[in-house]
Amino acid sequence: MKAKNLYLAALLLLLCNATHAQYNQLWIPDTISGTTFNLNLRDTFVQYLPGDQTITSGINGAFWGPTLIFRKGDTVHMNVHNYLNDSTTIHWHGMHLPAVMDGGPHQVIPPGTVWQPYWLVSNNAATFWYHPHLHKETQAQITAGLGGFIIVRDSTESTLALPRTYGVDDLPLVLTSRSFDGSNAFTTTGVYGDNMLTNGVLKAEVSLPKQYIRLRILNAEIERGYNLGFSDNRTFYVIGTDGGLLDAPVAVTRVKLLIGERAEIVVNLGTNNVGDSLDLIAYNSGQEFGFPGSEPSTTGEFGSALNNANFKVLHINVAAATTGAITSLPATLVSNTYLTAADATVTRTLNVTQGTPGPGGLPFSLDNTPFDLATINKTVTLNNTEEWTVTNNNVFGHSFHIHDVQFKLISRSSGPLAAYEQGWKDTYYLRVNETVSFVAKFTDYADPTHPFMYHCHISPHEDGGMMGQFVVTDATGVANTQIQLNNFNLYPNPATNRLYVSFSDPSMQPYYVRITNTVGRTLYMLPRPQLQNGIDISSFAPGEYFFELTDDKTKNTLVKKFIKE
C-alpha cells in the first residue's frame, strides 16, 4: 500500500472510531419476574468520566435498578434490603396498594434493615416505577441513582399485537440529567444536569430492528421536563399513559413528559433502511414560561447547558428486522371506562403557594401549608369518587402527583387536554396560571394510621414542603379483635432458623411487626405480616431480640423478647 493510501486508511479508521466513540451503548436494566423480588440498595460507583469514579447508589447494580415484571392478579412480595449508609424508603409509584406498603416518607427503612411489603397487583398493564421517598432526602437519593421500572402485564394487553419483547422491540427509557463537579461527583447544588443520561448512560445509542418499536419512557428527572420527538419529525404513536393503555393509539410528533410521568410510545422503523440512524430529541428550546428547563440561564442554581435547548436523548441505529416483527399497530387497544366530573360526590381544591420571595425565594407549598409528617391534611372516605382541582397562580410550573389512585384528567383552564393525556394518569404537568381538575375513586384500602401523599414530583419542591397527605377511612369501621400481650406467643423460643407466632384467636391480624436487636437497631419491618410460615431469622447472630407487634385495632405496640441460638 502506498503511503498516501495508508494515511487515508488510518484517517478513515480514526474517523470511524471517533464517530463510534461519540456514543455509548444504551444499558437495558435486567428484569426480575415472579412473585418474590429481592432489591439490594447499595452505595457504589460508576466510571462516567476519565479520572475519578462517580459515587452512585444502585439497586442490585451500580445506577438505577432492575425492571420488575408483575402480572396483574399476582400477590408480589418485596424484600427491600437497605445496605446504604442512610435511611431510605422505596415507593411504588402508580401502584394501587395499602398505604402501609406504599413506601412513602413514613415507611423509613433504617440502614441494615429488610422491609417486606406485599400486595395484590390490581393495576392494569402499564409502566410504573419505584424510587426513594424519604422526606427532605428524595432529591439526594434519586440523584445518586436509586430507582427502577415496574412493568405490569395483564391478559388484555397480552392479546394485542404490540411489541412486547423486552430489550428487543420493547425498551424502557429512563430520562434524567446530571452535572459533575471537579472530582466527577454528581452535584446537587443545581436542579438541572448539564449532561443527558438515558438509562444511566451518557450519549446513549442503541441498535433497533427495522419494525415497530415500543418505548416505555419515564421522566425521572430532578426538575426538567421533556418535549420529545424524533430528529426527522416523524409521526409516532402514544399507546399508553401512566396507568394503562389508551383506547386507541394517538398519533403525535411531540409528547411532553413532566417529572414522574410515563408514556408508552410506538415508532415505526420499518420505513427506514438498515444502517439509517435517527435521534430521539428533547425539543426543549422555546418552551413556555414555567416549563421546567426553559430557563435561559446556563449557570447557577437554575442554569444548565441543556436549558432552553434541543438536545439528543438517544441515538438510534436501524438494524435488520427480527423474525416475528410487529409491522402494524392495532387500530384500537382497550376500552376504558373513565370517571367523569358527574361521578364525583366530593370536590376539593388545592392552591400552589409560595412564601414571600426573598434571596433565593421561599419554597413552594400547597395551600400555604408546608409538609409536616405529623399532620394529616385530608381525610377521604373509602369508595369516594372525588374531583380535585389544583390551581397554580404562581411563578413556575409543577408536576402534580397523587398516590393510591389512577385518575382521569377532566379539564385544563389553559385549553383542551392533549389527546395523549386522556388516559389513566397519576402525574401531570401543571402550568403557570393554570387550573387543572381530575377525578379519582379511592377504593379498597382504608387505613386511618398510614397516609398516602400528594405532591409536586420536582424533588427539590417536594423536599421543600410542596406535599400533603391524606388518609382513606372506612366509615363502616369494621373493628378487629384487639391483641394483648397474653394473646400471642413466640415459638420456639429460643429459635434457630425460623420464628413462629401463635395467637390465642387465629383471626387476630397484626398491623405491623418490627424486630430489633438489644441496642434498638431495626432488622426487619413487616407491614401486615403473613406469619403462617414463620419469619426467617437464619441470618441473625445468636443473641436476644425484641419482637414488636402493633395491634391493628388500637395501634398499640406490644413487645416480647426472644432468643436466637
Q: Which of 72, 93, 412, 431 binds ligand C2O (CB under 6 A)?
A: 93
Question: Residues 101, 121, 123, 131: which binds ligand C2O (CB under 6 A)?
Answer: 131
The size of the interface with Cu ion (CB under 5 A), counted in residues, is: 6
- Under rule CB under 6 A, residue 256 binds ligand C2O: no
Cell 415508532, residue located:
267
Instruction: Note whether 91 binds ligand C2O by CB under 6 A.
Output: yes
The option from Cu ion, ligand C2O, none interacting with 131 (CB < 5 to 8 A, set by class) reads ligand C2O
Cα gap 325→270, rounded to integer Å: 10
Which of helix, strand or coil describes residue 195? strand
Q: Distance (Å, rounded) from C-alpha 263 to C-alpha 399?
A: 15
CB 515 within 8 A of CB 547: yes
Instruction: Report d(CA 399, CA 256) in Å as an integer.
Output: 12
Interface stretch with Cu ion, choices 331-339, 407-415, 455-463, 500-508 (CB under 5 A): 455-463
Of 153 and 403, nearer to Cu ion (C-beta) is 403
Which of Cu ion, ligand C2O, none has residue 458 at its interface (CB below 5 to 8 Å by kind)? Answer: Cu ion
The number of residues making up the chain comes to 565
According to DSSP, residue 550 is labeled E
C-alpha cell of 320? Answer: 435488520
Q: Using CB under 5 A, which of 131, 135, 178, 398 touches Cu ion?
A: 398
Q: Does 93 bind Cu ion (CB under 5 A)?
A: yes
* Piece of 114-122, 452-460, 490-498, 516-524 that binds ligand C2O (CB under 6 A): 452-460
Backbone angles phi, psi at 28, to 5 degrees: -110, 120
Say which residues have a Cβ less than 8 Å from residue 215's Cβ, sequence separation at least 6.
171, 172, 173, 264, 265, 266, 267, 280
**Contacting residue, 72, 461, 528, 564, with Cu ion by CB under 5 A:** 461
Specify the 3-state DSSP secondary structure of 12.
Answer: helix
Whether 450 contacts 102, CB under 8 Å: yes
425 binds, among Cu ion, ligand C2O, none (CB under 5 to 8 A by kind): none
| Stretch of 228-236, 340-348, 357-365, 451-459 contacting ligand C2O, by CB under 6 A | 451-459
- The CA-atom distances, in angstroms, between 559 and each of 97, 524, 547 are 28, 14, 6
99 lies in the site for Cu ion, by CB under 5 A: no
d(C-alpha 461, C-alpha 394), whole Å = 13
C-beta separation of 564 from 516 below 8 A: no
133 makes contact with ligand C2O (CB under 6 A):
yes
The site for ligand C2O, by CB under 6 A, has a size of 10
Please tell me whether residue 403 binds ligand C2O under the rule CB under 6 A. Answer: yes
Task: Tell me if 377 sits within 8 A of 396, measured CB to CB.
Answer: no
- Closer residue to Cu ion in complex, CB, 170/426: 426
The three three-digit cell numbers of residue 141, written as one number: 437519593
- Asked if 474 and 382 touch (Cβ cutoff 8 Å), the reply is yes
- Residue of the chain from 263, 453, 490, 515 that contacts ligand C2O (CB under 6 A): 453
**Which segment (116-124, 340-348, 349-357, 453-461) binds ligand C2O by CB under 6 A?**
453-461
Q: Binding to ligand C2O (CB under 6 A): which residues in 3-62?
A: none
Shortest spacing between CB 425 and ligand C2O, in angstroms:
13
**How far, CA to CA in Å, does 286 sit from each of 177, 228, 430?**
19, 13, 18
User: End-to-end alpha-carbon separation of the chain, Å?
Assistant: 78
Q: Is 408 in the site for ligand C2O (CB under 6 A)?
A: no
- Work out whether 146 is an interface residue with ligand C2O (CB under 6 A): no
Member of 260, 370, 460, 527 binding ligand C2O (CB under 6 A)? 260
Q: Which C-beta is closer to Cu ion: that of 171 or that of 458? A: 458
CB of 260 to ligand C2O, least distance (A): 5
No. of H helices and E strands in the chain?
4, 41
Question: Minimum CB separation from ligand C2O for residue 135, in Å?
Answer: 11
ω before 98 within 30° of 0 (cis)? no
> Cα separation of 439 and 447, whole Å?
21
Give the strand order in the sheet containing 255-257. 24-25, 204-209, 310-319, 277-283, 226-230, 255-257
Question: Dihedral of the CA atoms 420, 425, 426, 427 (nearest 10)?
Answer: 20
Q: Determine the residue with CB nearest Cu ion.
A: 456
**Could you tell me the smallest distance in angstroms from the CB atom of residue 463 to ligand C2O?**
12
Q: Which residue is nearest to ligand C2O (CB)?
A: 93
224 binds ligand C2O (CB under 6 A): no
Q: Among ligand C2O, Cu ion, none, what does residue 398 contact (CB within 5–8 Å per kind)?
A: Cu ion
Which one of the spans 24-32, 79-87, 459-467, 471-479 is the region binding Cu ion (CB under 5 A)?
459-467
Q: Answer yes or no whether residue 425 interacts with ligand C2O by CB under 6 A.
A: no
| Nine-digit cell string for 386 | 372525588
Q: Is 315 in the site for ligand C2O (CB under 6 A)?
A: no
Determine if 403 is a binding residue for Cu ion (CB under 5 A): yes
Q: Which of 458, 513, 526, 535 binds Cu ion (CB under 5 A)?
A: 458
Partner whose footprint covers residue 461, from Cu ion, ligand C2O, none (CB < 5 to 8 Å by kind): Cu ion
- CB 452 → ligand C2O: shortest distance, Å? 9
Sign of the alpha-carbon torsion through 305, 306, 307, 309 = positive
The sign one gets for the Cα dihedral 54, 56, 61, 67 is: negative
Between 78 and 501, CB nearer to Cu ion: 78
Which three cell numbers mark 552?
A: 391493628
Per DSSP, what are the bridge partners of residue 257? Answer: 226
| Partner whose footprint covers residue 133, from ligand C2O, Cu ion, none (CB < 5 to 8 Å by kind) | ligand C2O
* Cell numbers for 48: 462516567
Which part of the chain contacts Cu ion (CB under 5 A), choosing from 294-302, 391-399, 520-528, 533-541? 391-399
Q: How far is CA 456 from the centre of its chain?
A: 13
Told to check if 228 binds Cu ion by CB under 5 A, we report no
**Which residues are at the interface with Cu ion (CB under 5 A)?**
93, 398, 403, 456, 458, 461
**Which residues are at the interface with ligand C2O (CB under 6 A)?**
91, 93, 131, 133, 260, 401, 403, 453, 455, 457
